[in-house]
Amino acid sequence: MKSIYLDYASSTPLANEVVAEMVSAISNNDFGNPSSVDHEYGKNAYELIEDCRKDVANLINADQREIIWTSGATEANNLAIFGSYEFNLKNKSGNIITSMTEHKSVIEPFKTLQKKGLRVLFLSPKRNGEIDLNELEKTLNKDTLMVSLMHINNETGVLNDIESIGEICRKKNVIFHVDAAQSIGKISIDVGNLKVDLMSLASHKIYGPKGIGALYINGKTMGRIAPIIKGGGQERGIRPGTLPTHQIIGMAAAFRLAKQHMNNDLNHIRKCRALFLKSISHIKDAVVNTDEVSTFPGIISLCLPDLDAESIIFGMNTIALSKGSACTSDSDEPSHVLKSMGLSQEEIRGTIRISFGRYTTMNEVSIAAESLVKIVTHLKMIKGQ
Amino acid sequence: MESLLRQYFSDSNSVYIASDHDDINFHTGVAVQVNGDFVKLYLNLKEDRIIEAKYNVSGCPFMIAITAFYIERIKNKTLLEAAEIQDFNIEKTLELPINKKDRLFLLEDALKNCIKQINRGK
C-alpha cells in the first residue's frame, strides 16, 4: 500500500492533464529542434514553445519575452545571481543583501561571490521566520546593488512581503530578485504590480515535470544578466542549450492548470491545515514554528521539542513527510533555516514539515494526524514522560 | 533489515514506567549525547545476575531499536556478560549505518554508569 503523500513542498505528482499533454508531445514525435526553424519540424517545435512561453508569462502577468527557460528553479537562481554578477555587478563595489533562510541554490552562489570579493549580507530572520522590513531598509544603503529574498520559504512556509520589499528596492534603484519556486501557481503573483526585476520559477512544485523552470527578467528595468552557460544563441543568448519541448509543454500545462485552480487549491489547503492542527491540538508541547498570518497555509513546520524528528517520521511510516527541505533531509546538519530563526538544537531536532496539496484528501489529513498522535504517545512513553 | 529495526523501535515490553515499577529497587545508569540522544537503563539484580531490565530512551530510530534489542538480551545474564556489548552482535543484526555506530557507545556509557551505581552501593 502506498504511503499518504504529505510532502508537496518537496515535489508534486504530475497532474493528469500535464501527463496527457507531455505524452501527446512525445507520441506526436515533436522531436524537432526548436532552433532549426528552416524546416517544419523545427518551426513546429518553436511555435509550441512560444505558446508555452505565453502560458508561463500569463500566470504572473508578464510579457512572454520576459520568460527565459531553465532546467529548474535552482538554475534560475544561479542564472539570476551569477548572471547579474557577470553582466554588471562584478565591475562595481558594493553589497548584496539576502537572508539566511534562502534556499541553498541562492546561498551557495552568494557564498561563491563572497569568495570573489563581493560583500554579501545575510539577514537573520525574526524568531517567526519573517524578514524584518525595517532591518532591511536600515541595511540597504547607497552601495547596495542587489537584494535576493524568497517569496515562500520551503521549510517553514513563511511568506515574505515581496510587494513592500520591491518598493523599498525600487526607491533605492536596487535589483530585486525573488525565488518564487514555492509560491508560483499557489498564490497570486502579478509582476505588473510588483517591483521585481528577476524571479525564479519552478514547475515540479505545481504538478508539472521536474527538470524545467524559468527565469522572469523584467524587460523594463535593470535586471539584466549575462549567460552563465556558454553555447549556442538559444533564449536570446541568455541561456544556451536545446530546449526540451515536451518538458516545456508539461510546465506550461501545469501553469495553465494552476491559474484555473489557484483559488480552489488555496481554500482546500487552508481546510487541510485547519483540520490537521485541530486534530493534533491536544499534543502537549507541539508548536508551529511560524505565525499563522505570515505563513503559506500549505506548509506546517511543526516542532515537538522533546522528541527526534527522524523517529517521528520513521514511526509514521505510512505517511510521506520530511524533517526539513528535501535538499537537506539526507544530511545530519541541522536546518540552516531553523537555526537562523534562533530555534534551539532540541527544537530543530524535533521539527517536521508537513505540506498539503491539490490532491490531499481530508481523510488523509485525519489519518496523518492520528498517526502523529500515536507515534508521539509512543515516543514520550519510551522516553519516560 | 527494516522490519527488525521497526520491530524493536515499536517494542515497548521492557520500557520503564514509574507507576508500574515503584515497588522494585532498580539500579540505574544514564547517558546523554551532545545531539540530545538519551538512554537510561534500569537493572534489578539478584546477586550478580540481572533478573529484570528496563529502559527509557530518546533519539533516532536506531538508538531506540538498539536499546530495546540489548535489554531483551541481557535478562538473566550476569553483569559481566551484559557488559560485553559487542557479544550481542547488535551492529550486524540491526545493520547499523556507519553514522549511527556511536549510539552503541551511548548504550555502553549508560551501562557503565549503572555498574558504577551498583558498585557504590556495595
Q: Is the pLDDT of residue B19 over 90?
A: no
Q: What is the pLDDT of residues A76-102, one digit of tens each?
A: 999 999 999 999 888 888 999 999 999
User: How much is the pLDDT for A326?
Assistant: 52
Q: Mean pLDDT in chain B?
A: 90
Q: What is the pLDDT of residues A209-246, one digit of tens each?
A: 999 999 999 998 766 899 999 998 899 889 999 999 99
The better pLDDT of the pair A247, A34 is held by A247
Q: Do A383 and B99 touch (CB under 8 A)?
A: no
Same domain (yes/no): A166, A294? no
List, in sequence order, every residue forming a beta bridge with A159; answer none if it has no partner: A152
CA distance A76 to A148: 13
**Which of A256, A289, A322 delimits the end of a domain?**
A256
Same domain (yes/no): A213, A111? yes
- Tell whether the torsion through CA atoms of A254, A260, A262 and A264 is positive or negative: negative
Domain that holds residue A246: 16-256
- Tell whether the torsion through CA atoms of A38, A39, A42 and A44 is positive or negative: positive
Using an 8 Å CB-CB cutoff, list chain B residues near A349: 35-36
**Which of A225, A256, A287 delimits the end of a domain?**
A256
Same domain (yes/no): A324, A377? yes
How far, rounded to the nearest angstrom, does the alpha carbon of residue B31 sit from its chain's CA centroid?
A: 10
Nearest-neighbour CA in chain A from B36: distance (Å): 7
Number of H helices, E strands in chain A: 11, 12
The better pLDDT of the pair B35, A346 is held by A346
Same domain (yes/no): A240, A276? no
**Which CATH number does the domain housing residue A229 bear?**
3.40.640.10
**Which of A256, A286, A316 delimits the end of a domain?**
A256
Provide the b/e sequence for B21-60 (b: ≥16 CB within 10 Å). eeeeebbbbebeeebbbbbbbbbbbeeeebebbbbbbbbb
Same domain (yes/no): A219, A96? yes
Look at strands A287-288 and A213-217 and give their pairing: unpaired
Q: Do B61 and A310 touch (CB under 8 A)?
A: yes
Same domain (yes/no): A245, A272? no
pTM as predicted: 0.94
Same domain (yes/no): A243, A271? no
Residue closest to A202 by CA, chosen among A240, A151, A158, A239: A151
Nearest-neighbour CA in chain B from A363: distance (Å): 25
User: How much is the pLDDT for A328?
Assistant: 52
Residue range A140-167: mean pLDDT, rounded: 96
User: How much is the pLDDT for A331?
Assistant: 59
- Catalytic annotation on A272? no
Task: Report ipTM (2 d.p.).
Answer: 0.94
Same domain (yes/no): A83, A219? yes
Q: How many domains does chain A contain in total? A: 2
User: How much is the pLDDT for A132?
Assistant: 95
Same domain (yes/no): A192, A277? no
Same domain (yes/no): A232, A327? no
Q: Is the pLDDT of residue A327 over 60?
A: no
Question: Mapping DSSP to helix (H, G, I), strand (E, B) and coil, where does residue A200 land?
Answer: strand
CA distance A136 to A144: 11
User: How much is the pLDDT for A249?
Assistant: 97
Q: Mean pLDDT in chain A?
A: 94
* Percentage of residues of chain A with pLDDT beyond 90: 86
Q: Is the pLDDT of residue A170 over 90?
A: yes
Per-residue confidence band for B1, with pLDDT thresholds at 50, 70 and 90:
low
Q: What is the pLDDT of residues A328-358, one digit of tens each?
A: 555 567 899 999 999 999 999 999 999 999 9
User: How much is the pLDDT for A31?
Assistant: 85
User: How much is the pLDDT for A318?
Assistant: 95
User: How much is the pLDDT for A222?
Assistant: 64
CATH class of the domain at B2-121: alpha beta
Same domain (yes/no): A265, A250? no
Q: Is the pLDDT of residue A194 over 70?
A: yes
Helix (H) or strand (E) segment spanning residue B58 = strand B49-58
| Concatenated DSSP letters of B29-57 | EEEE-TTS-EEEEEEEEETTEEEEEEEEE
Chain B residues in contact with chain A using a Cβ-Cβ cutoff of 8 Å: 6, 9-10, 12, 15-18, 35-38, 40, 55-61, 63-64, 99
Same domain (yes/no): A68, A136? yes
Cβ neighbours of A379 (radius 10 Å): 23
Q: Do A310 and B9 touch (CB under 8 A)?
A: no
User: How much is the pLDDT for A329?
Assistant: 53
Residue range B85-99: mean pLDDT, rounded: 89
Of the partner residues B6, B9, B57, the one whose CB lies closest to the CB of residue A383: B57
Q: Is the pLDDT of residue A317 over 60?
A: yes
Residue range A121-127: mean pLDDT, rounded: 96
CA distance A299 to A155: 8
Q: Do A315 and B40 touch (CB under 8 A)?
A: no
Q: What separation in angstroms does the CA of A101 have from each of A98, A332, B91? A: 9, 18, 38
Question: Mapping DSSP to helix (H, G, I), strand (E, B) and coil, where does residue A293 land?
Answer: helix
**Which CATH number does the domain housing residue A305 bear?**
3.90.1150.10
User: How much is the pLDDT for A28?
Assistant: 82
- Cell triple for A196: 521585481
Domain spans of chain B, in order of start: 2-121
Q: What is the pLDDT of residues A275-297, one digit of tens each?
A: 999 999 999 999 999 999 999 99
Per-residue confidence band for B28, with pLDDT thresholds at 50, 70 and 90:
very high
- Cell triple for A201: 520559477
Candidates A306, A307, A308, A345, partner chain B, best to mutate (most B CBs within 10 A): A308
